Structure 1
């Protein structure tokens, strides 16, 4: 029995089909509507959604430009992270997409959503998904600041 089935069996629930509905690393604009629609699930009482956007500052400096790069294994690592979250929470549906390439202030950089039977579980699972994505998936941010300096984050 796999980890997801064990988790559901422990809670006295039947294992669902794969709750991971959408994962991706994309060089095209992201859509909150697409992610939200993907996790719609009749058995879920709560959907938690997180949207990360490009801000105009970081660490007290103005940001003029920002780009994301990903290692070729990033999508496989994203799946591994998502599977861990699905194994630890009663996830009914899950989606996560991250943007790569050059982005502008206000652009969507990452969108994740998790549907669970109850809101507390949905919030906790969504928080874990975005936190683990940011710390474990090999995606790097290159920021160019208004003062001419630049910085790589996550590299």
Structure 2
């Protein structure tokens, strides 16, 4: 579990550097309380993921470490073997929404990404992770409709 102090430091750095938070934390931030799901890490887009991860570790302390992930553009910040933050270099800059000074990926971009992942046979390892989102897609669609 991530302490509140650590969460605040992560969000503060993301705000100052213009990083974009994506994944379940971004979805939770934009949906009502009864639709939120638990998540244990942060997923953050950064143009320079390795240096962003190293800067965060420098601020957090010696018990944290930086590791390169299996995928080339991702770096992880870990504490006691548990991933705290995934920094990834985005392929292209996604549509964002600024909430309390922090950039979050917009729900419309999330909706497209979930649909694309679930249609892609080569991404079958992500289907179980995305399946609950597919069930919740109607709620995401509801909150992204332009009125």
| TM-score between both structures, scaled by the size of structure 1 | 0.29
Structure with more strand by fraction: 1
* Greater relative contact order structure (CA < 8 Å, 6+ sep): 1
| TM-score between both structures, scaled by the size of structure 2 | 0.30
Structure with more helix by fraction: 2
